[in-house]
Chains A and B, each alone.
Chain A
């Protein structure tokens, strides 16, 4: 079945450690996104990528890094520079970036807790 997978589902990290969240899609979508969700709040965009080997900062990119070496993969690294990383992280993809319908499909999310 086509879709988006994120791993792990739950992740615990000690303060000062970097951690990488995985996001893979087999939908052949060009665009991929990372969002952060805090309790009781909506989603905020961290990074997005319109095409392989290209990505742009979203609204809250500080303390995060990404790569897009393959069309199907868009891993997110939460660095020690991120002051408050405990949150729910959602990865999404869409056929292309741009105007129009262009629905985003979401993965199941990774819940990151910093101990």
Chain B
């Protein structure tokens, strides 16, 4: 069964430093997509970055990059130059391809709460 694991309930980082949020996944499908979302205290979910299982290069979006290690089944989010506004919950998510038993459903990890210190 597909599964997403985020082992860090909370993380602290100093403003302007980089931070890595861990995510490991489990799937038997060859075709899948990995997502990271940010959830501020307001509750909305904000899409950050996407990595497809067949993408050769790690995805990057501004200050966000995804460290994709397929053999290890990990998809860590790296935030460079942290800002106070980065304080939020961060969720890793995975969607398997249509051929998988779960269809196209997206499953979410339990999340990591990031605190950025001034």
The residues of A with any CB-CB pair to B shorter than 8 Å are: 33, 40-45, 48, 58-59, 88, 90, 92, 97-109, 111
**Is there an interface contact between B44 and A48, defined as CB atoms closer than 8 Å?**
no
In the assembled complex, how far is the CB of residue A13 from the closest CB belonging to chain B, in whole angstroms? 19
By size class, the interface of chain B is 20 to 34
Determine the residue in chain B with the shortest Cβ distance to A105. Answer: B47
Known A42-B110, A102-B33: A97·B44 in contact at CB below 8 Å: no
**Is there an interface contact between B43 and A104, defined as CB atoms closer than 8 Å?**
no
Q: Mark B39-74, 1 if CB is under 8 A from A, else 0.
A: 000111111001010000000000000000000000
**Is there an interface contact between B109 and A100, defined as CB atoms closer than 8 Å?**
no
Q: Give the residue of B4, B91, B104, B110 whose beta carbon is less than 8 angstroms from that of A99.
A: B104
Known A42-B111, A104-B47, A108-B43: A99·B98 in contact at CB below 8 Å: yes
Bound-state CA distance A97–B106 (Å) is 11
Q: Give the residue of A42, A92, A109 whose beta carbon is less than 8 angstroms from that of B109.
A: A42
Known A43-B91, A45-B106, A97-B104: A103·B35 in contact at CB below 8 Å: yes
Bound-state CA distance A61–B78 (Å) is 34
Known A43-B108, A48-B105: A99·B97 in contact at CB below 8 Å: yes
Question: A102-B104, A105-B47 are known contacts; what are 16 more A-B pairs with Cβ within 8 Å?
Answer: A40-B111, A41-B110, A42-B91, A42-B108, A43-B91, A43-B108, A44-B108, A88-B43, A90-B43, A97-B104, A98-B104, A100-B33, A103-B35, A106-B46, A108-B44, A109-B44
Determine the residue in chain A with the shortest Cβ distance to B92. Answer: A42
